A and B are shown apart, each in its own frame.
Chain A
Amino acid sequence: MNAFFATVRRDLLLAMRRKSEVLTAVFFFVIVTSLFPLGIGPEPVLLKKIAPGILWVAALLATLLGLPRLFAADHVDGTLEQMALSPSPLGLLVAGKILAHWLLCGLPLVLLAPVLGLQFDLDASALGILTLALLLGTPLLSLIGAIGAALTLGVRGGGVLLALLILPLYIPALIFGAGAVEAHIAGLEVGGHLSLLAAMLVLAAFFAPWATTAALRIALE
């Protein structure tokens, strides 16, 4: 377990030395969500209706932006090889890297979402649901994304390919995440949406590190 926390600590330390990479994804999230009102028009009723979808799609794309870097740097400089040969299980180290990725790319989105939701005239309780749904959903995005990042590691045109592989798999998270907020606005119960998101998160937490590890070993061959 120490190796797990050591990986998290290492990736956070590396990110702190190179803050711009973390901030890019956050700025992307802010800019994309702000573009929609400019493209659609400032009508509050319409904006309120599409806000959950926009915020979720923007979160999906912002997560995707940081994913190619998840293993690329470690792959290029050979540290990934050392991890694969470490006595610590590679799956544990990979899980640590995924957690660090979420802390750096997912958590900032969760924290920013309520502020951006204000742009779309969401009320306080809807903002609360939005934050909660993102809190359950963004780790799911990091977990699934890690599989794609490992599969496309060192592959020609990896970034675009990653989007093609991963975005279809993100659809359930998008449906239930945005659906929770929409249901709340429509006055419906949101427990079902959030439970399903949580269930998918648990499932992904079990399987994604395993699949990612298998894909990484293949990429290192």
Chain B
Amino acid sequence: MLNVSGLACSRGERRLFADVGFSLAAGEWLHVQGENGSGKTSLMRLLVGLSPADAGTVSWRDGATPSVEFRRDLIYLGHHAAVKEDLTPLENLRLAAALDGIELDERAALAALIRLGLRGREELPVRVLSAGQKRRVLLARLLTRPAVLWVLDEAFNALDVAAVKLLGDLIAEHLAGGGMAVLTSHQPLPVPGGKALVL
């Protein structure tokens, strides 16, 4: 479904990587590894279509990307918090869905936040939450946004032990349901199987 071939990227004059290729089918996931500055984040941004590649192609369901179909099937969570500090977790989740053109009712949003362990925090402004809790608000989008391909950049950072296990479970469930995932991280991930790509 996801086919990547010959991707190359340079930052300024420095060549980060060249000729990166892999493919993912339903239920598979890829662990992108590498040192700091090896281009993991750049690869993620090329993959989702935020920045243009120097060379190479990314195709999704045999179609070229970026396309609306690809974006409909994609969820990308990067380093940024991507939540609004002045809004509550509930508002954040529902407005993010509305921007994506999805009507998300309060019950479903609440259920997602509770699953992420934010019971009782849903009406507080995100400003007062801890870094790990903000991260959980963002991760709740994985539950409220139906997407086939999850691209998660350093998603396990700033999470406590319980949250790491929870995210691992979420990813495993997603894969079991025929989803795909591309993950970056330095440490071993609590998700079984998976292909590896070292930059």
Contact = CB atoms under 8 A, between A and B. Distances in A.
| A and B: bona fide binding partners | yes
A84 interface: yes
A77 B101 contact: no
Interface of A: 2-3, 6-7, 9-10, 13-14, 17-18, 77-79, 81-89, 93, 220-221
A85 B74 contact: yes
Contacts, number: 79
A78 B78 CA distance: 8
Nearest to A75: B80
Contacts of A3: 98-101
Question: Closest 4 A-B residue pairs measured CB to CB?
Answer: A78-B80, A6-B98, A78-B82, A17-B86
Taking chain B's interface residues, is the majority helix, strand, or loop, or is none over half, making it mixed?
loop
Contacts of B85: 77
22 contacts: A2-B98, A2-B103, A3-B100, A6-B95, A6-B99, A10-B95, A13-B87, A13-B95, A18-B86, A77-B82, A78-B78, A78-B79, A78-B81, A81-B78, A82-B76, A82-B99, A83-B99, A84-B50, A87-B71, A87-B101, A88-B100, A221-B50
Interface string B82-113: 11111100010001101111010000000000
B72 A87 contact: yes
Contacts of B48: 85
B71 A86 contact: yes
A74 to B, nearest CB: 9
A153 B85 CA distance: 20
A17 B87 contact: yes
Contacts of A89: 68
B38 interface: no
B49 interface: yes
B51 interface: yes
Contact of B83 (A13, A18, A77): A77
Contacts of B99: 3, 6-7, 10, 82-83, 86, 88, 93
Contacts of A84: 50
Contacts of B132: none
A220 B50 CA distance: 7
Contacts of A9: 95, 98
Most A CB contacts (10 A, CB to CB) among B74, B100, B103, B125 go to: B100
A13 B52 contact: no
Contacts of A85: 48-50, 71, 74, 76
Most B CB contacts (10 A, CB to CB) among A17, A18, A83 go to: A17
A87 B102 CA distance: 10
Contacts of A14: 84, 86-87
B72 A79 contact: no
Contacts of B98: 2-3, 6, 9-10
Contact of A77 (B50, B74, B80, B103): B80
Given A2-B98, A6-B95, A77-B83, 13 more contacts: A2-B103, A3-B101, A10-B84, A13-B87, A14-B86, A18-B86, A78-B81, A81-B50, A81-B78, A85-B71, A86-B100, A88-B99, A220-B51
